[in-house]
Structure 1
Amino acid sequence: MHSAPDPEPKPLDHLAERGAEGDPALILRGETLNHNELKQRVARLAAWLASEVPEKGARVATWAAKGELTCLMPLAAARAGLVHVPINPLLKHAQVAHILSDSGAVMLIGTKARLASLEEGNVPAICTVLEESAALAAAEALAGELPPSNADTDDLAAILYTSGSTGKPKGVMLSHANLWLGAVSVAYYLGMAADDVTLAVLPLSFDYGQNQLLSSWYAGGCAVPLDYLFPRDVMKACAKHGVTTLAAVPPLWVQLTELEWSDDAIRAMRRLTNSGGALTTDLVHDLRSIFPAANLFPMYGLTEAFRSTFLDPELVDSHPTSMGKAIPFAEILVIDDDGDVAAPGEEGELVHCGPLVAQGYWQDAERTAERFKPAPAMSEYGGIAVWSGDRVTRDDEGLLYFVGRRDAMIKSAGNRISPQEVEEAALATGLVAEAVALGIKDDRLGQAVHLIVRASGEGEDPQAALPKILAKELPNFMNPQVIHWREAMPLNPNGKIDRNALTQELSQ
């Protein structure tokens, strides 16, 4: 990294034009695409999308495992002037129905089994449903190619749905500039190059996961999408493809450090990146032992601003609990309760300013106003900033440290989970009269979902029936690890359920 990163954004689909034509760009299960073939496939899929959905700015959703469709859609939809809505393949029909309805998607492309799980009323009348294989075949049959777009970089390119502390998932609106500059920033501070191979194990519906592709292609490198069943699958893929870049969340790192890594899986590794939760000192030590030649990059981010900070690998050993400093194109301020910049060591709210800040929540002015507010007066960028709700401190060296979250979000295995969404699913069964979902500290998951319920008196055996229904209605990562049945809930002086008392009790 010698020169500063280019701050001028381009339309997102131009990422397909960056690599040398004969170099590998995307390693799929059955074939490897070089950068020329990547460019052609994006142009072809974009042409088909534009013919099927001529309305600019219309939303098109994908619900599929990692493959050609889900990897190409971020660029192809952008080139066609459409807005991509990637749906986490782990979600189930109720969550998918909400995303389709809320986004106003006019097309859903998914795998056969997932589409078959949808129930009557899940798909809005305006939404056309296509199987993944049929869509790719139709794009190939059309045989047309759409040239690179000249889209305004402030145009909407994607809506990524993320859970809030209350209510259903909300869609974060990301522009071409947001996604392009995110790719530039990460490729720059990671020092990525054209000979890098990134193993993309994280869901492509997350900003961290999608950036595995985008930053790799910005650098002219290669991405290997992988849906793994077991941690050993990750290790085998690293050996098979000579992986140089591996991104994960702490629970996966824990599992990976329990393996006996082969030399051929370690040999090419240049960098490890972590987000979605803090690394422990022991985990840092274990990763250092397994990958002695690889740089370790702890990072902090939030979908509303993509990524905020990273810790220089040279400081990991001496400052293992630090979040680091701002990434390129991000300005990070620590603001105290009086609205001033917090002094070193003083706790304040992390406020993210700059061009990585998203455009707000899709069709949700109220929640947008709560999180996206004018930048503090001392901001160099000004404009709208993301007020994260996370409490942090900054030391005398400028390094940031996480203190805690202001909201009640549960963060389990790298997933942000809305307690209310779990509670509403339990109440909807009719088996319980009251429900409280909490995140309780867990060594492997970061936080485990605990559900405390009071039976409604309905049903013959609610304790046996509730877990089965929740397993059907909620994605696996949202399902409670433990369900606690109570005769009565503790109440606070206002007559509301005392969540703090329950948290203290279960944390002992």
Structure 2
Amino acid sequence: MGRGRGQSGRARGRRPKSAWRADSLGPRRRDPAAPGDPHRRRAQATVSGPASRDRVSRVVDLTIARTLSLAGRRAGEKPAVICGDRVLSHGALADAAARLAGALQAFGLGKGDRLGVVLPNCPEYVAIALACARSSIVMVPLNYRFTAEEHATQLSDCGARLLIYGEIFGETVREVARRVAGLGTVCVGTAVAADLGSLDEILARNAPAGPADVSETDVFYLGYTSGTTGHPKGAMVTHRNRCLAYHYWALEFGIRDNDVVLHAGPFHHTAPFTFVLTQLFMGGTVVILEHFSASDVLAAIERHRVTWGFLVPYMLDRLVHAGAELKQHDLSSLRMIVSGASPLPTVTKEAVLDLLPGIGLHEFYGATEAGVITNLRPEDQRRKTRCVGRPVFDTEIEIRDEAGRPLPPGETGDIWMRGPTVFSGYFDAPDKTAAAFDGEWCTIGDVGRLDDEGYLYILDRRKDLIKSGGVNVFPIEIEEVLLAVPGIADVAAIGVPDPTWGEAVHAVVVANGDRPLADADVVAACRARLAGYKVPKSIEFRSALPRNANGKVLKRTLRQDFVDRMRTDMPV
């Protein structure tokens, strides 16, 4: 397939081709969906008797390989993936995936084995996903910003036998390989002696794989949660789950075969990559940016006649601030923007609606564990403030109190959901799985309320709630007020230890430089619009907020920084 762009440097000491051998890999761990496994997927069908067996034999399983293969046949030589100057047709993408599947099978990987991926956005990422799907190998996307220790933790947790990585991450990956026994590595780029080969070499010397034994109940990928609230967990997502998601999302957002979608978000996050596969499922074209910049996004929309894009709130904020540059590009092909991954601030939303009045804006609420859960459609954007819409197709939402009792509209409580796109549980973590499920219903720790029309409002993650003097304070309320203050570019409200109230509100503010800002300005803005107990007791100014690769603020890091400073300032 060629080397992905964004890979820099030349590693020395290429490993001879004969080193590509199955006995280099470590032993297998149990298939997460294998019979007898206590963590087997929750929705596994159970049938008995001749009639049931005969009926099941005639049912066509919903698998990623079949779904995307059929879409590829319809699309033929139409461009499937565009990345810089590289263009792969649907046919070429399918061939690359089949050859890679053959290589993985020859290498000894089979049903249920886990394969880690740490790559920048590139066509190879898509081919690897399709190859895993063809072979019932479980793909494990890894955050390329992680340290070697963090990678090793996740790879050890899931028992991965192989890691495919980008050359630019070579130094980190070699440290990972030293920490994870039996882990084989394959480089997208120039391989080194420690690798089992390069991806180009593997594709060149392997024939396409034939059909493999893949069931809709097999795990397609392990989606590790972002870790913004603690130790990441591997959510098991099945073939059936994702196939249905592609159908539902195409219906919900009106995705068509003649669409061209732009993606600049990192593929190791669930939403960007699943939207990529949704567009391919419809037979359309995906334009990939390796990294986000407002200038690159605007140029790509014009160059490739992009019709829609998935852009997280941070990206939309950067587009809004692109100012005159935005007006210099022909954006007439763009009909839709989809936003998600974190709340879209009202001030940013209003700016997008004003600057791009002819474009339909969607804001969804989703999670690694469930995909898209609710969506606020364009017609509701101005009449439903701070709202994330109604449940998408085949999904139900219920608000419950801490005792698990359903609450009426208008009451605040834990968000529970039910539907076929909800994950099957956390890999090798029965206690965490049990805590997340109540029968078919699932919660991921978010707090919200429903209005009389069934629209959902997210108030915060339960772990981010500030409990001051026994009263719950929702950080998002404070953040919304401060983001409307001239001179404030970004803000995060967190709870910090307080000897009197248990926790006190602490605001971390990023100024935009337009005007001088002082603590008193922040406090005054909050006092004018919020109850006294919600007003920050302390203010901190920073040049930027710590965020993960998908734009989510790392509030856990902010809290820990505050605690560390308190300890440093304490008298000895």
Distance 1:229 1:189, change over 3 A: closer
Distance 1:207 1:490, change over 3 A: same
Give 3-state SS (helix, strand or coil) of 2:326's partner.
coil
Distance 1:121 1:182, change over 3 A: same
Give 3-state SS (helix, strand or coil) of 2:357's partner.
coil
Q: Distance in 1 between matches of 2:431 and 2:407?
A: 28
Distance 1:306 1:48, change over 3 A: same
2:487 maps to which residue? none
1:319 maps to which residue? 384
Distance 1:347 1:26, change over 3 A: same
How far does residue 372 in structure 1 lie from its aligned partner after superposition?
2.5
Between 1:214-223 and 1:399-408, the stretch displaced more is 399-408
The counterpart of 1:107, out of the listed 162, 170, 187, is 162
Q: Does the alignment pair 1:386 with 2:386? A: no
How far does residue 326 in structure 1 lie from its aligned partner after superposition?
0.6
Q: Distance in 1 between matches of 2:351 and 2:298?
A: 15
1:254 maps to which residue? 317
CA contact (8 A) 1:16 1:42 kept: no
1:3 maps to which residue? none
Q: Distance in 2 between matches of 1:22 and 1:120?
A: 39
Deviations 1:409-432 (A, max 9, x none): 9999xxxxxx9xxxxxxxxxxxxx
CA contact (8 A) 2:320 2:352 kept: yes
- Identity of counterpart residues, as a percentage? 27
2:187 maps to which residue? 131
2:540 maps to which residue? none
1:268 maps to which residue? 333
Q: Distance in 1 between matches of 2:164 and 2:232?
A: 20
Alignment of structure 1 residues 71-220 onto 2, 5 Å: 71-118=126-173, 119=175, 122-133=178-189, 134-149=197-212, 151-164=214-227, 167-220=230-283
CA contact (8 A) 1:231 1:255 kept: yes
Q: Distance in 2 between matches of 1:487 and 1:322?
A: 37
**Which amino acid letter does the alignment assign opposite residue 126 of structure 1?**
G
How far does residue 388 in structure 1 lie from its aligned partner after superposition?
2.5
Give 3-state SS (helix, strand or coil) of 1:266's partner.
coil
Q: Does the alignment pair 1:346 with 2:411? A: yes
1:292 maps to which residue? 357
Aligned length: 427
Q: Does the alignment pair 1:13 with 2:70? A: no
How far does residue 59 in structure 1 lie from its aligned partner after superposition?
0.5
Give unpaired runs (5+ residues) of structure 2: 1-58, 190-196, 466-474, 480-493, 495-502, 513-545
Give 3-state SS (helix, strand or coil) of 1:139's partner.
helix
**Which amino acid letter does the alignment assign opposite residue 10 of structure 1?**
L
Distance 1:292 1:385, change over 3 A: same
Q: Does the alignment pair 1:64 with 2:119? A: yes
2:367 maps to which residue? 302
Cα RMSD of the aligned pairs, angstroms, is 3.2
Q: Give the number of the structure whose alpha-carbon radius of gyration is greater.
A: 2
How far does residue 214 in structure 1 lie from its aligned partner after superposition?
1.1
**Which amino acid letter does the alignment assign opposite residue 404 of structure 1?**
D
CA contact (8 A) 1:212 1:223 kept: no
Q: Distance in 1 between matches of 2:507 and 2:126?
A: 35
How far does residue 391 in structure 1 lie from its aligned partner after superposition?
1.6
How far does residue 440 in structure 1 lie from its aligned partner after superposition?
5.1
2:499 maps to which residue? none
**Which amino acid letter does the alignment assign opposite residue 369 of structure 2?**
E
Alignment of structure 1 residues 326-365 onto 2, 5 Å: 326-365=391-430
How far does residue 408 in structure 1 lie from its aligned partner after superposition?
3.6
How far does residue 192 in structure 1 lie from its aligned partner after superposition?
0.7
Between 1:213-222 and 1:327-336, the stretch displaced more is 327-336
Give unpaired runs (5+ residues) of structure 1: 1-6, 375-383, 413-418, 420-435, 446-470, 492-508
TM-score by length of 2: 0.69
Distance 1:245 1:120, change over 3 A: closer
Q: Does the alignment pair 1:369 with 2:413? A: no
2:521 maps to which residue? none
2:36 maps to which residue? none
CA contact (8 A) 2:399 2:450 kept: yes
CA contact (8 A) 2:220 2:237 kept: yes
Q: Distance in 1 between matches of 2:428 and 2:511?
A: 36
Q: Distance in 2 between matches of 1:130 and 1:146?
A: 19
**Which amino acid letter does the alignment assign opposite residue 237 of structure 1?**
A
Give 3-state SS (helix, strand or coil) of 2:367's partner.
coil
CA contact (8 A) 1:228 1:234 kept: no
Q: Distance in 2 between matches of 1:407 and 1:122?
A: 35
Deviations 1:122-171 (A, max 9, x none): 54222101211354313322341124555211111101111446642211
CA contact (8 A) 1:197 1:243 kept: yes
Give 3-state SS (helix, strand or coil) of 2:267's partner.
coil
Distance 1:444 1:187, change over 3 A: farther
The counterpart of 1:279, out of the listed 316, 319, 344, is 344
